[in-house]
Amino acid sequence: MNFSFLKSNLLFVLSLLFFAINVNAQLAPVSIECVNTDSNTGTYIQWTTPPDCTSADIESYNIYYAQDINDAFVLVAEQTNPNFFNTNYTLDVDSGQAFLDEGTENFFYVTYTCNGEESLASAPVSNQGLPIVELTKVTVAAGFVNIEWTPLTNSNVGGYVIGQVGQNGVLPLDTIMNPMAGFYSDFTADPDNESESYAVFAIDFCENFEVVNSNFHTTIHLESTVGGCNSVLTFGWNHYEGWETLNEYVIYESDIEGLPGEPIDTIPATQNTFEYLLSNASEDLHFIVEAVGEHLGNIVRSSSNQFTINASTPSLPSEMNLYYASVISGITDEVYLIFETTTAGSSVQYKLERGVVSENDLQSSLIVENNGDAIHDEDAKPNEFSYYYRISATDECDSKIETNYTRTIYLSHQDNFNQTITLSWNEFELEGATILEYELLRFDEINVEPTIIATFTPNDAMTFTDDVSAIESESEGFYKYQVKAIYQKQRLSGVTETLDSFSNRREVTKNSQIKDVPTAFRPNGVNNVFKPEIQFPNADNYSMLIMNRWGEKVFESNDPAIGWNGLVEGVLAPQGVYAYIIRMESFNSRELIRKGTVLLVR
């Protein structure tokens, strides 16, 4: 065996291995974290600690510069025997170097010397700010906004600042110190109510960043109105902003909230409105508009907020029911009505229609603001008229639906000029109701609750004559009446209710009258006192004067209950004819006077 040949080959292989180890053993570079030039202070450079050296072996940090990244770099500064962890250096402005000009772009890299060996150069970094971040898209998702961009590979990029663009410019929203990040969700956004605009800026390891107002993207805000007389849903939205090319919009419809659903149409990028017919809609519909475009060589998509509409809500209610109507008597008399409806659209307007002739001759008198609330017709005069009522509902297309009609009870009276009062009233009418009976009520000062003085069936005559001669009251001659109708009416729910409807309260004042004055009396006989018969006497304004044939006063009384017994100063007056004058003011302030003569018989 030729050992000399083996030995020479082995030495050759070992030498190649030694060379390869030396080549691969070159020191790894540092990374520049930031470069910032200020005309007043100089150029500040900061880098990472050496990966292949220790604090005991570090000999120098070396800073190189070139005016163009393709030019040869020259050494401009050398930190000898540095502190291992002091990884920054300022090129002093007093040196007068061209690269210290704040407006001039220059490039720098850093090496380090360790145990006599210089490391590989760091990646060159410009002193003219950080690179621009290219947004990919901003898109709405479930009430917040997702922001996407292309991560930067520059060594001095330490992360990103998320900026929100508004009327006052760009406001920093959040900072992500991760150069590989390319996604952010803004949970503070309100994309359901307005479009949102964003920009993303690179930030270096020294936390320097520059706001660039031109590089921003805007979300799509979708809104809609139901208009017209054919139930058309009209969409409108702002155009997506930020892409190089906007190709088209895709309209999606879904029956499930939160899901995009299926595409129903595609429209050109120049258009930002869309009409949808609601004729065959389900109960709830959800819509999204998706923008499709091209940016940075890729097809990109951005979704709007999801717009939801209860498409099954009809404009007009399918049913309306007027189930209560009554006169309310108080300080001011008014008519009180209540109606109900099935579900209706928000654009429906309700009106109260009123008339005094018939249910076919009604005029709108009041706009009703809230369906289901009680209606107070304060302009009515229920003490003068019986009213017909109906409530109507009208939509924006002037389509109309009406309730059933009703007629209130009007109570009137006739003074019979005796001690009776005749009362009359019309029947209560409520279409679809069953009238059970009527009660005639009389009020007085003694009892809080009125007295039922008569009841009537719907077939009876609506009239009654009340004899008030036996009624005792503190205010004789004053009476108050009311009619109550008791009826049943079915509600829209199917439940039948028993309800009351009242008429106006009729107040009757019977006038005072001097009905009869005796023509003769016998003091010692049966008719032994002379006094008139008075209906509803008013003692406050009463006088009776009796005179003899010479005009001399023989008797006077101011009390209707006290008459003349024939005595004059305790002595029976002579038989003869005496004159009298009786005066009284009635309760309605009318003066009553009766003059005549009376024969005193002994």
Nearest to 410 by CA among 332, 499, 506: 506
First-residue to last-residue Cα distance in the chain: 195
Side-chain half-sphere CA neighbours of 174 within 13 A: 11
Residue 547 banded pLDDT, cuts 50, 70, 90: very high
Q: Kindly report the pTM of this predicted structure.
A: 0.48
Task: Kindly tell me the sign of the dihedral angle through the C-alpha atoms of 261, 267, 268, 273.
Answer: negative
Question: In whole angstroms, what is the distance from residue 322 CA to residue 368 CA?
Answer: 13
Residue 542 has what pLDDT?
93
Burial string for 498-529 (b: 16+ CB within 10 Å, else e) reads ebebbbbbbebebebbbeebbeebebeeeeee
Q: In terms of DSSP H, where are the helices of 367-483?
A: none
Neighbour tally for 96: CB within 10 Å: 7
Residue 546 has what pLDDT?
96
Burial of residue 84 (CB within 10 Å: 0-12, 13-18, 19+) is middle
Mean pLDDT, the chain, integer: 85
Burial of residue 330 (CB within 10 Å: 0-12, 13-18, 19+) is exposed
Would you put residue 116 in left (φ > 0), alpha (ψ -120 to 50) or beta? left
At residue 295, what is the residue type? H
Would you put residue 15 in left (φ > 0), alpha (ψ -120 to 50) or beta? alpha
Nearest to 47 by CA among 82, 85, 103: 85
pLDDT tens, residue by residue, 467-525: 887 776 555 567 899 999 999 999 999 999 999 999 999 988 776 778 889 999 999 88
Residue 476 has what pLDDT?
58
CA angle 435, 458, 431 (to 5 degrees): 40
Residue 367 has pLDDT above 70, yes or no: yes
Question: In whole angstroms, what is the distance from residue 198 CA to residue 147 CA?
Answer: 8
Burial of residue 30 (CB within 10 Å: 0-12, 13-18, 19+) is buried
Residue 99 has what pLDDT?
56
**Would you list the DSSP string of 86-125?**
--EEEEEGGG--GGG-TTS--EEEEEEEETTEEPPPPPPE
pLDDT tens, residue by residue, 324-335: 999 998 777 899
Q: Which residues contact 158 (CB under 8 A, 6 or more apart)?
A: 33, 34, 177, 179, 203, 204, 205, 206, 207
Q: What percent of the chain has pLDDT over 70?
A: 87
Q: What is the mean pLDDT of residues 24-50?
A: 84
Structure tokens, 446: 């003694």
The answer to whether residues 385 and 364 touch, using CB atoms and an 8 Å cutoff, is: no
Nearest to 340 by CA among 374, 376, 380: 374
Burial of residue 100 (CB within 10 Å: 0-12, 13-18, 19+) is buried
Pick from 17-31, 422-436, 455-469: least confident: 17-31
Burial of residue 548 (CB within 10 Å: 0-12, 13-18, 19+) is middle
Residue 302 has what pLDDT?
95
Place of tokens 């009680």: 374
pLDDT tens, residue by residue, 576-585: 999 999 999 8
Question: In whole angstroms, what is the distance from residue 422 CA to residue 10 CA?
Answer: 145
Residue 12 has what pLDDT?
43
Phi/psi at 545 (5° precision): -120, 130
pLDDT tens, residue by residue, 100-148: 666 677 889 999 999 999 999 998 988 877 888 999 999 999 889 999 9
Residue 8 banded pLDDT, cuts 50, 70, 90: very low
